[in-house]
Each structure stands twice: as C-alpha cells, then as structure tokens.
Amino acid sequence: MFEVRIHSRGGQGGVTAARLLALAAIRDRKYASAFPFYGAERRGAPVVSFVRIDDKPIKVYSQIREPDLVIVLDSSVMDVVDVLHGLKKGGTVVINSAHKPNFPGYKTYNVDLTDIALKANLVVAGSPILNTPVLGALAKLGLITAASAKKAIAEMFTDERNIKAADAAFQEMVI
C-alpha cells in the first residue's frame, strides 16, 4: 500500500487534490481512498489530507502516520507543522516551491505550483488553487499516469485551465 499525506491551508485545494489523486488512481485500475482531517478550520488554516493507493481493496480508514510521500502545498505550513513527522525512511517529499529545499535522507522534488496556478488564473478569493497543478506533478513522479490525471480533472472540473495547469506542472517538474 502506498500512503500519501498532503499538507495545505484551507482554500488551496488540498482536500480536493486528495480526492483527485484517488480518482486518478482508480482510473489507473488501482484501489484508492482519500479523506481530510480538519476541525472547524477556516480558509487559511492548516489542513491535512490523506490518500491510500493499492492493488487490492483498502480496508484501513485511519489517519496515515507513516506516509511514503508527503506533499506540501504551502511551505508556510512548515512553520507550525512538522510535515516530515513519520515520513518513512527514504520517503519522498514534493513541495510547492521555486527552490528545492534540503531534506536529508528523503527524495525531494519541487515545482512552483503557485506560479503555475497564477499564470493559469486558477484563483478563488485571492488564493491560487493548487489541486489540479499538483496532479500533473504527481503524474511526472509516476504515482499516476498523465492520462488518468487528466480524466480525473475532467470529471471534476469543466474549465480547461485545470488540465492546462496540470500539464504545466508535469512539464516543469524536474525528476
């Protein structure tokens, strides 16, 4: 089973990113589950979402304590949350940043999802929406296929800008 933890702020699309990732995995003929963990948060508050992907049915529905992959959609969350807590040794970090951070012992990738969202004009209430661009980055990592990412996005959103943003993140993500 491959487990993913997504750190974001309310309103950035982290919860929807988890749903999209699970849907894309299902389109790739995998089993997947996605769920958020938050209380009475509001826009801007830290939010954690989880995704499990496997080749067989998933029967675990608890929070993910030892993920294989951590996604950080807003680096300012790292000021209040230890995003690496529990990440498996040699695990992977994908961070929304123009600069590659140094997380010794982990495979680290960065892509400027904010810039991609802003260029695509994917903004709600003044905040860039990062859920569809991050799907392109995850496709580049090979977690899902680019085709399934596009299918999942098209199923959830009719605005073509979302697929273009995912394509841009796929192109900009350096492996």
Tens digits of per-residue pLDDT, 25-39? 999 999 999 998 876
CA gap 156, 131 in Å, rounded:
11
Using DSSP, state whether 160 is helix, strand or coil: coil
Tokens read off for 68: 């294989």
Please write the tens of the pLDDT for every residue from 73-101.
999 999 999 999 999 999 999 999 999 88
Task: Give the integer Cα–Cα distance in Å for 119 and 117.
Answer: 5
What is the DSSP pairing of strand 46-54 with strand 31-37?
antiparallel
Q: Which of 17, 4, 19 is nearest to 65 (CA)?
A: 4
The model's pLDDT over 127-163, given as tens digits with 9 standing for 90+, comes to: 899 999 999 999 999 999 999 999 999 999 999 999 9
Whole-angstrom CA distances from 78 to 28, 93, 124 are 32, 13, 23
Q: At what angle do helices 161-172 and 146-156 cross, to 10 degrees?
A: 150
Asked if residue 29 lies in contact with residue 74, where contact means CB atoms within 8 angstroms, the answer is no
Provide the total of helices (H) and of strands (E) in the chain, helices listed first.
Answer: 5, 8
2-172 adopts what CATH topology?
Pyruvate-ferredoxin Oxidoreductase; domain 3 (3.40.920)
Grouping H, G, I as helix, E, B as strand and the rest as coil, residue 107 is strand
pLDDT for 138: 98
What is the reported pLDDT for 89?
94
Entry pTM: 0.94
Provide the 3-class DSSP secondary structure of residue 10. coil
